[in-house]
Structure 1
Amino acid sequence: MNRCGLLTTEKEPVPLKSIEVELQVRDHVATVVSTLSYDNKEDKPIEAVFVFPLPGDAAVCHFSATVGQTQIVAEVKEKQQAREEYDDALSSGQQAFLLEESDQSPDIFSLSVGSLPPGESASIRLEYVTELAVQADDGLRFCLPAVLNPRYQPQGSEGPSVEVTSVPASQVPYTLSFSVRLSSPRPISKVESSSSLEPLQFLNAEQTQATVKLAAGHRFDRDVELLVYYKDAHQPSAVVEAGQASAEPGSLMGDQVVMVSLYPEFPQAVTSKGEFVILLDRSGSMQNARISSARDTLLLLLKSLPMGCYFNIYGFGSTFEHMFPKSVEYSQQTMDEALKMVKEVQANLGGTEILSPLQHIYNQPCITNQPRQLFVFTDGEVGNTMEVIDLVKKNSGSHRCFSFGIGEGASSALINGLAKEGGGHAQFITGTDKIQLKVMQSLRFALQTVVENISVTWDLPKEASVTVLSPPITAIFQGQRSLIYAQITGQTSEVAEGSVKVKYSLADQDFENQLHFSLKPAEDTGLTVHRLAARTLIRSLELEDRESRGRDGAIRKKMVELSVQSRVSSSVTAFVVVNKSDGKNIQGPLVRRDIPVPGTRAFGGRTLPSRERARSDEALPSRQRRRVNEVCYRMAPRPPPEAERFRDSHSRSAPFHQVYDSLVMDMEGAEMCCRRPSSRAPFHQALSSRGRERSYKDDWSPQNSPTGPLLQLVSLQKASGCWLLDSALAAALGKTSEEVEKPKPAQVNQDVWATVLALIWLHGFKADAKEEWELLAMKAVSWLRAQNAPCMKECVEAGNTVLGCKVATNALGF
């Protein structure tokens, strides 16, 4: 074994030495330039294959390679053609580079650096643009996904799974540097990150330009998340970008394109109706802290639901379970029953197959006058991303979907796609984020009355026409951004103006928001807006293509033409470049090196035999090796431990068919030992049989009380919103029973007194967590109003004395 240079855990040299990332943020759009430096320290030519994550909504728009003093810019070509050019170049001894998007998930890319000669260095430049998502606290979120956890490929899914080589972050054998430059028409308030940053440096007195970078000593153990805050963040805006001079007039790249950003404003009407269906990931990757936090979150969520609604809870892994046969009305009895089962929830259902439970939910009839709201909690390790998103899209007319990506490496394509196609809102919970806070933010959106009859109209000079490129707006939430891309055809003067108007209905009232904007093209935007618009249009065409199951060749042809014209990646194209500069053929058999990515878990079963391990050292043409690899990866990428031990015990030089056949047989046998309960079994039936099953060790006991005084108090609230005056409440308030019972005003009911005490405690001691408990406090206030209790001011004053607080009566919302 050649041990020179950096090594993987399997003692293979790693030719990737460093990744340098430069991020430029202009208002709410980001341009990312990544430079990957390769160095072959071996004595034979290599093919370095790097499978890595990118934001799911990114538009990859540049790919080039620098070898020696020569820079070669890649071309965008139809994917199969690009693969064949790459394979043919390697087979003939030429150097080539290939960048392609995964067929299963648009947030995973594969970069192949082919025929890097001994002692040779190469530098790869990759550029993409992306929109920054608006968070509930008005921050704009950018995420540089460093972690790529292996994705679970359900049995029977179409196509090969993505090949992922992941190792613990501490063992990643290359470095990462990350720098940011920000510019905005509005002052920059602050920049926060899940990683340590150096101090923000402002570049002008107006504080509209700044730089920041990762602090020294950054560990490659998490996604790099950046939150940018502007003053007056909710100002609507429009950016007009000039067309490309070399492009044909009338084409997307040749015409002007406008990007409109709107923040509709309307009264926050809250509904007490709804069917709330919670779909919780209980796969093995959710074990320990994740599932414990999920249990606490379910407690808070169940307590915050309004009276009169309906609910159900599903758990999924390799199979799925449901708490009730169908959604039940929210009451004290059903809430108590649900909470009892929630305490016993474990991350013990195997893989991550979300498609089947979704199909089961959609097959349940909707409840009249109870709009369905679906909450999906998952770490996003799903291989059939597009199948799942398409299913949500197909059923978008019957529900809204709110998605939550838990932990590092959650698929942005899945989480954002579920919310976008389901007309809901997406949240990511990473690092020290509080999942309860983000879930409550989304619950507020779910409780907003559905906005209907949404329409968009344009007013432009008569010599110009507009073609909307974005899908129709299907969901509007108070204060959340709506983005619209449109192509402007025709000649317009720089002093001309246009306007766009959004109309919609809410609770039988009509609303509209209008934005006037200049048609003068902005400066220094390059082709960012055009490429984002092209990406938006390409994604819409990809959806049409999947709906037609690829039978409409015209759609695929249009996708290829648009991708090539705009130089934006797609599922049907790839970037390819062949180095023909020196005309020399590279001699010697080609050795593949899989470059590892950081993962929160590294599963040996995910890296089944590579091209070199699958066969003996016999050289194969590159194209044939690719086909072998695709066949191999059709197996489930997370086999049971029995299969992992089998793999490790076999010689790497074993012929491919022996390893493959034996592994398949062993996996099938192991699967028989790991059967799950029926997917339609209720929670309590599945829990009773769990002793016979393989399970994952968890660090939480079902007998333990919820963590923290806040959740302890929340756990005591009744479904109606009130609290009972008992010893448990006294303990949660940090008092004895006598200390809370004796000061009660004589004319005040015990439950009223207990509820007032609980509300005073929340306002007095947990004001910083108000967004977490505000909804259940509103329910408590509604209950108090219904009691028509006397002497409320006296009651609050007495409660303040007991708890040592100074909470005003009007602050409680009476």
Structure 2
Amino acid sequence: MAPNQHICGFYYTTPRVDANPWEDQCQRHYLPQLGLKSHTTILSRTSRTLLTQTFTNPDQTKAIKNVRYTFPLYDGVSVVGFTCRIGDRLIKGQVKEKEKAKSDFNQAVERGQVAGLLEQLPDAADVFTTTVGNIPPGATIVAEIAYLGELKHDAQVDGIRFTIPTAIAPRYGKYPGELLSKPASAQAHASSGMEIVIDAVSDDYSPIKQLRSPTHPISVSMGVTSTAPDAEPTMTKASATLSLGTAELDTDFIIQVVAKDTGNPTAILETHPRIPQQRALMTTLVPKFSLPSIRPEIVFICDRSGSMGSGSKIPTAVEALKLFLKSLPVGVKFNICSFGSRYTFLWPKSKSYSQDSLEEAIKHVQTFHSDYGGTEIFEPLKATFENRYKDMELEIMLLTDGDVWGHESIFAYLNEHIYVQKEPVRVFTLGVGLDASSALVEGIARAGNGFSQAVDDNEKMDRKIVRMLKGALSPHITDYSLEVKYADDKQGNSDDGFELVEKVTDGLRVNLNLRDTDAQHEAGVNNGKGETVHQLAARKAVSELEEGRGWLSEAVDATGAKLKEKMEGRWDELVEREAVRLGVKFQVGGKWCSFVALEQNPENQDAKPASRDWKYLDGGEPIPSAATGDPSLADYQQGVMLLRQEKAAAGPRFMMMASASAKPGGRGGAGMKGFRQRVTDKLGQQHQPAAAAAVSAVNPADVQLMSSEPIMEACADPLADDVVATVLAIAFLRLKVAEEEEAWELVVEKAEDWLNEGSGVGEEVVRAMKEKAEALVKGKE
């Protein structure tokens, strides 16, 4: 596993003096985990999990100024609670606006208090990270995180699927850094090992028939739950337990709950325990309408990138494609697109399904290997849209492990074409492998008006494939309504269509109507108190806002004009403000909200730090990140820059470096003055040629390697090395940190002006050098 990837655990960082310029500049040191406990309650199609993990600082003489705790959570999960106990000191989390949370966290750390900050990585919804400050020598750390989830239907068993993930694609398994040894005193720790408990409770009319795991051996008790083992047994309750002697889970833990009549429509009406007159409604409507099938164009987009070479992903994808192809009905048109860092189509345009086209497609699929380079989904997706038949519906079947970051551009494209331009296109996704990125797989399906399924090496997939194909062949329904009926219609209002129902009486009925048909579904309502449905609804609304959709995008003013068009210049601010309002009100973390955990009742907040005499394992420097207050955008523009590494699984904003005060050293230049930052700094200096300034920012070995190319040998100009350095620097910025173009585009423009007008090298030679430089930078990935 690459050193820039994540697993679940606590770590601190120290500078690496031997890192290559394109590599992570810091070494991770993981604290040993002593124990793990997880308790989940599944109610209907929702889950609430309390995850408790115990770690230790193995050094008895040195403290740790900052540690980061990262953990994978599947798409759609809402973090709703965070507490951390360090020794005898307790910190408890509260959701605040992200910048306010950072400020409170930094102030607490400066005072020497124990503090924590929990936030979602900006570019991946399935990665959450916590930063905790001031860990004393030899301290035990107990972290508790509560999170909610809306569970998916598992077509293979016709039940509900719950997953506790240990991986973020393909980032699981071995530690991406040094795992510190446990101290001898920790070997007999009371919390050692692992225990996972799942309690399932179903509706009265839907008894549980089976509780099983396709991934792990479990102990199952039918009729009772772990919290009430002596209660009267009932068929609507069950409990499962997984116990291991070590605190290691090498693969995702999957539980399947099979109950009777799970396809019946249901609704849960929940009253908030603390907010007056606040209720929330969740409905589950399984479509079982007798509607005629369509004969659309179906394009299979299959991931053949290098990450698909791990395990049995390619064989699994090939088998899935064969099932898809053999199940297609006569009358559809279909095509196959393979993608990685490039993409190809089997045919220029989709062909009609026939025996000849099927045989040709099967032969093509059998040649698949993971030989297409990196994972770049946007371009093949865009090409599929542009290449479609305009007089037919298009159904896209995307098969991928989702090993890609920066999902926003994909979501924005789907929003524009499906929601704004109303193109008759749907996107279904099949996550391949246990470590498939759920944020991407489920996010694309959600944005594409389809749904997702997941398959791994040990699961049958035929029913899942058929379910996806049936979904693709179902008609595009755009004329429907969801009706909520109150006991007294006068109590309704125009705002009740939002996920959070503001005013509801005890008498409630939910109907789903499809116009021009006789189909109508009515759901009975279960009542109760709690926060689960409220927080799930809030998270759903916030997710849609983060992905560029949601109710706010359809809001209009008194004249009927869309606010999105009327207030275009401030739209991003309005969206963020609404997401923050929901996050803070219902205590749900997200892209713009973070949990900040401060020490409970510290004796003297203004006291001098008790830690001032400590020596630190991490040098006492903060872990640079969006979470721990790295340089602001103003610092960014002044040249003190933390640039992104596009393929860093730690997330572009979480590239691990030393603090801004660290000095460069070694090949890569550990610290804030590392290779990437020096490139931008020196290209941006005003009073010297950009190319000459860039020479020291590019490794001499790279210049020699590139200069040895024939095209370089033909360039006898004495400034050739300067030109090479500049061309390499520009190629690095464009290929590795493209998402930060706003920060470097002007200095690159200046450098290119020098290349074209002041370097003395001909235009054709410069163009050839740029091609060589791009090839060299790509080869360093």
TM-score (norm 2): 0.69
Separation in structure 1 between the aligned mates of residue 445 and residue 589 of structure 2, nearest angstrom: 23
Instruction: Determine helix, strand or coil for the equivalent of 1:489.
Output: coil
Residue 160 of structure 2 corresponds to which residue in structure 1?
140
Indicate which of 290, 300, 304 corresponds to 1:278. 300
2:173–2:250: 8 Å Cα contact kept in structure 1? no
Instruction: Determine helix, strand or coil for the equivalent of 1:270.
Output: coil
Separation in structure 1 between the aligned mates of residue 617 and residue 675 of structure 2, nearest angstrom: 19
Residue 503 of structure 2 corresponds to which residue in structure 1?
489
Deviation at 1:357, TM superposition (A): 1.1
Aligned counterparts, 1:535-684, within 5 A: 535-544=539-548, 551-579=571-599, 581-583=602-604, 585=609, 586-587=611-612, 623-624=629-630, 631-637=642-648, 654=670, 657-660=673-676
Deviation at 1:179, TM superposition (A): 1.1
Deviation at 1:451, TM superposition (A): 3.4
Against the structure 1 CA distance between its residues 110 and 21, is the aligned structure 2 distance closer, same or farther, given a 3 Å change threshold? same
Indicate which of 460, 468, 471 corresponds to 1:434. 460
Indicate which of 44, 62, 77 corresponds to 1:27. 44
Separation in structure 1 between the aligned mates of residue 641 and residue 207 of structure 2, nearest angstrom: 50
For 1:148, give the aligned amino acid: I
Indicate which of 356, 367, 372 corresponds to 2:394. 372
The percent of aligned pairs where both chains have the same amino acid is: 26
Indicate which of 234, 237, 243 corresponds to 2:272. 243
1:470–1:537: 8 Å Cα contact kept in structure 2? no
1:28–1:131: 8 Å Cα contact kept in structure 2? yes
Indicate which of 432, 441, 461 corresponds to 1:406. 432
Deviation at 1:350, TM superposition (A): 1.5
Against the structure 1 CA distance between its residues 260 and 667, is the aligned structure 2 distance closer, same or farther, given a 3 Å change threshold? farther
Deviation at 1:463, TM superposition (A): 4.5
Deviation at 1:193, TM superposition (A): 1.4
Indicate which of 489, 505, 516 corresponds to 1:462. 489
Separation in structure 1 between the aligned mates of residue 36 and residue 208 of structure 2, nearest angstrom: 28
How many residues were matched structurally?
Answer: 604
Separation in structure 2 between the aligned mates of residue 24 and residue 52 of structure 1, nearest angstrom: 20
Indicate which of 512, 515, 519 corresponds to 2:520. 512
Deviation at 1:51, TM superposition (A): 2.1
Structural RMSD (CA): 4.1
Residue 223 of structure 1 corresponds to which residue in structure 2?
252
Residue 107 of structure 2 corresponds to which residue in structure 1?
88
For 1:188, give the aligned amino acid: I
For 2:57, give the aligned amino acid: N
Residue 720 of structure 1 corresponds to which residue in structure 2?
none
Deviations 1:268-309 (A, max 9, x none): 6333x1101111111101016211232233233222222221
Residue 105 of structure 1 corresponds to which residue in structure 2?
124
Separation in structure 2 between the aligned mates of residue 226 and residue 530 of structure 1, nearest angstrom: 25
Deviation at 1:235, TM superposition (A): 2.6
Query: Does residue 1:500 correspond to 2:510, yes or no?
Result: yes
2:207–2:235: 8 Å Cα contact kept in structure 1? yes
Separation in structure 2 between the aligned mates of residue 389 and residue 337 of structure 1, nearest angstrom: 33
Aligned counterparts, 1:329-478, within 5 A: 329-368=352-391, 370-396=392-418, 397=422, 398-460=424-486, 461-465=488-492
Against the structure 1 CA distance between its residues 6 and 259, is the aligned structure 2 distance closer, same or farther, given a 3 Å change threshold? closer
Deviation at 1:140, TM superposition (A): 0.6
Against the structure 1 CA distance between its residues 694 and 255, is the aligned structure 2 distance closer, same or farther, given a 3 Å change threshold? closer
Deviation at 1:589, TM superposition (A): 7.0
Separation in structure 1 between the aligned mates of residue 702 and residue 514 of structure 2, nearest angstrom: 54
Separation in structure 1 between the aligned mates of residue 702 and residue 361 of structure 2, nearest angstrom: 36
Instruction: Determine helix, strand or coil for the equivalent of 2:324.
Output: helix
For 2:195, give the aligned amino acid: S
1:316–1:353: 8 Å Cα contact kept in structure 2? yes
Query: Does residue 1:303 correspond to 2:323, yes or no?
Result: no
Deviation at 1:41, TM superposition (A): 2.5
Separation in structure 2 between the aligned mates of residue 533 and residue 387 of structure 1, nearest angstrom: 25
1:105–1:413: 8 Å Cα contact kept in structure 2? yes
Separation in structure 1 between the aligned mates of residue 617 and residue 462 of structure 2, nearest angstrom: 45
2:273–2:530: 8 Å Cα contact kept in structure 1? no
Instruction: Determine helix, strand or coil for the equivalent of 1:345.
Output: coil
For 1:307, give the aligned amino acid: V
Q: Which segment drifts farther, 14-23 or 663-672? A: 663-672
Residue 211 of structure 1 corresponds to which residue in structure 2?
239
2:101–2:595: 8 Å Cα contact kept in structure 1? yes
Deviation at 1:142, TM superposition (A): 1.0
Against the structure 1 CA distance between its residues 328 and 49, is the aligned structure 2 distance closer, same or farther, given a 3 Å change threshold? same
Against the structure 1 CA distance between its residues 347 and 103, is the aligned structure 2 distance closer, same or farther, given a 3 Å change threshold? same
Separation in structure 2 between the aligned mates of residue 694 and residue 291 of structure 1, nearest angstrom: 27
| Gap runs ≥5 in structure 1 | 152-163, 472-484, 595-609, 615-620, 640-648, 677-691, 697-814
Deviation at 1:53, TM superposition (A): 1.0
1:64–1:74: 8 Å Cα contact kept in structure 2? yes
Instruction: Determine helix, strand or coil for the equivalent of 1:509.
Output: coil
Deviation at 1:575, TM superposition (A): 0.6
Deviations 1:627-670 (A, max 9, x none): 8998243343389xxxxxxxxx9679856535546997689989
Instruction: Determine helix, strand or coil for the equivalent of 2:50.
Output: strand
Against the structure 1 CA distance between its residues 545 and 26, is the aligned structure 2 distance closer, same or farther, given a 3 Å change threshold? closer
Indicate which of 518, 526, 530 corresponds to 1:526. 530
For 1:587, give the aligned amino acid: R
Separation in structure 2 between the aligned mates of residue 310 and residue 37 of structure 1, nearest angstrom: 55
Deviation at 1:545, TM superposition (A): 7.8
For 1:310, give the aligned amino acid: K
For 1:527, give the aligned amino acid: E
Deviation at 1:38, TM superposition (A): 3.1
Deviations 1:173-226 (A, max 9, x none): 895431111222232111121332333112243222222111435752111111
1:197–1:215: 8 Å Cα contact kept in structure 2? no
Query: Does residue 1:66 correspond to 2:66, yes or no?
Result: no
For 1:210, give the aligned amino acid: A
Residue 57 of structure 2 corresponds to which residue in structure 1?
40
Deviations 1:385-437 (A, max 9, x none): 23323322333342111101111221222212222222222101124013444
Instruction: Determine helix, strand or coil for the equivalent of 2:501.
Output: strand
Against the structure 1 CA distance between its residues 284 and 276, is the aligned structure 2 distance closer, same or farther, given a 3 Å change threshold? same
Deviations 1:444-476 (A, max 9, x none): 2222333341111222123422667777xxxxx
Against the structure 1 CA distance between its residues 592 and 230, is the aligned structure 2 distance closer, same or farther, given a 3 Å change threshold? farther
Separation in structure 2 between the aligned mates of residue 121 and residue 376 of structure 1, nearest angstrom: 45
TM-score (norm 1): 0.66
Residue 780 of structure 1 corresponds to which residue in structure 2?
none
Deviation at 1:115, TM superposition (A): 1.0
Against the structure 1 CA distance between its residues 469 and 432, is the aligned structure 2 distance closer, same or farther, given a 3 Å change threshold? farther
1:169–1:221: 8 Å Cα contact kept in structure 2? no
Query: Does residue 1:188 correspond to 2:208, yes or no?
Result: yes
Separation in structure 1 between the aligned mates of residue 697 and residue 400 of structure 2, nearest angstrom: 29
Q: Which segment drifts farther, 138-147 or 330-339? A: 330-339
Residue 126 of structure 1 corresponds to which residue in structure 2?
145
For 2:509, give the aligned amino acid: S
